[in-house]
């Protein structure tokens, strides 16, 4: 049981489930796709394996810095309960199996996007965190790609992929990453600084500039989340469509309000408000879009 618990810590199960959730919703938003339990489970498992592989590689590469931070020192590799070699083996197995599932049961374009996302997160974003805060921008790309993976997976092999819808959904999760992650970096600033991570927009730590950036990206979420209503992905002429659109708009107002509160108060409590607010925001918006599907 202890070994199983360590493997679950490696894949960061709760985080991975949230990531794969966005992929599944994006898949269901593809025109003509119906709710098929078997295919949804396959997409969920494939996405979970790829995400888990990226998270495992992250912990192997950052084992020394993880050991310096209170919240990560208990991780299996950082604590010494598991060797880096075992971590690599687990990551390679998960990644290969996940990519295969996406390619074989869906299409190889989705599998390639998943592999690219894994590579970008594990081998570009992860080491860049110690170099420059631009790492957050780079990390937001693989952070948003699960939506594109899910969307692309909704097209049969050889079928023409309608990329516009997938790109819009990618942008929703891409913009969402910034207020979400900067709130986390604000709260964990001392821990991150100890480990040498540079993750806030200002090299002076939590500042008004950082808080202002959370407002900017929260505002950018509004056009991204209403775009599906103008691309024939979602509708607002029906009752359920109107409810979905209202929920999307309210969620955006809520996110902006939390970010403005952080700018005004400049404290950890407000940063937590942005962080927990972002956890609520994303599933509400994605489910509202699915409710409004044409």
Question: Using DSSP, how many helices (H) and how many strands (E) does the chain show?
Answer: 13, 0
pLDDT at 11: 86
Rounded Cα distance between 284 and 268, Å, is 24
pLDDT at 7: 84
* Cα-Cα end-to-end distance for the chain: 45
pLDDT at 131: 80
pLDDT at 223: 96
Rounded Cα distance between 228 and 156, Å, is 22
Side-chain-side CA neighbours of residue 141 (13 Å): 17
pTM for the structure as a whole: 0.94
Rounded Cα distance between 143 and 128, Å, is 15
Q: Is 269 exposed, middle or buried (0-12, 13-18, 19+ CB in 10 A)?
A: exposed
pLDDT at 53: 96
pLDDT at 72: 81
Burial 155-187 (b: 16+ CB within 10 A, else e): beeeeebbeebbbbbbbbbbbbbbbbbbbbbbb
Closest CA relative to residue 46, chosen from 76, 26, 16, 25: 16
Record the tokens describing residue 24, joined without a space: 């599944």
Burial 108-133 (b: 16+ CB within 10 A, else e): ebbbebbbebbebbbeebbebbeeeb
Q: pLDDT 10s digit of each residue in the chain, 294 long? A: 778 888 888 888 888 898 899 999 999 999 999 999 999 999 999 999 999 999 999 999 988 888 888 778 888 898 889 899 999 999 999 999 999 999 999 999 999 999 999 999 999 998 888 887 788 899 999 999 999 999 999 999 989 999 999 999 999 999 999 999 999 989 988 878 777 777 777 777 788 999 999 999 999 999 999 999 999 899 988 999 999 999 999 999 999 999 999 999 999 999 999 999 999 999 999 999 999 998
């Amino acid at each position: 049981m202890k070994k199983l618990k360590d493997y679950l810590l490696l894949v960061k199960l709760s985080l991975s489930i949230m990531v794969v959730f966005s992929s599944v919703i994006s898949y269901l938003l593809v025109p003509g796709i119906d709710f098929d339990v078997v295919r949804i489970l396959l997409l969920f498992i494939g996405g979970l394996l790829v995400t888990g592989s990226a998270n495992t590689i992250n912990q192997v590469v950052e084992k020394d810095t993880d050991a310096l931070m209170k919240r990560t020192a208990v991780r299996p590799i950082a604590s010494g309960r598991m060797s880096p070699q075992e971590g690599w083996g687990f990551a390679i197995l998960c990644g290969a199996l996940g990519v295969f599932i996406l390619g074989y049961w869906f299409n190889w374009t989705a599998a390639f996007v998943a592999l690219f996302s894994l590579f970008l997160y594990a081998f570009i974003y992860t080491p860049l965190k110690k170099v420059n805060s631009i790492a957050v921008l780079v990390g937001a790309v693989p952070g948003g790609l699960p939506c594109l993976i899910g969307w692309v997976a909704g097209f049969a092999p050889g079928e023409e992929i309608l990329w516009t819808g997938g790109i819009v959904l990618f942008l929703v999760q891409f913009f969402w990453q910034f207020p979400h992650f900067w709130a986390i970096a604000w709260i964990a600033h001392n821990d991150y600084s100890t480990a040498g991570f540079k993750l806030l927009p200002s090299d002076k730590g939590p500042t008004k500039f950082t808080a202002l950036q959370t407002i900017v990206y929260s505002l950018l979420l509004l056009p991204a989340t209403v775009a599906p209503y103008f691309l024939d992905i979602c509708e607002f002429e029906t009752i359920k469509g109107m409810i979905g659109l209202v929920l999307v708009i309210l969620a955006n107002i809520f996110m902006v309000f939390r970010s403005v509160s952080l700018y005004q108060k400049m404290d950890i409590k407000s940063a937590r408000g942005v962080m927990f607010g972002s956890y609520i925001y994303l599933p509400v918006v994605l489910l509202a879009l699915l409710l409004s599907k044409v």
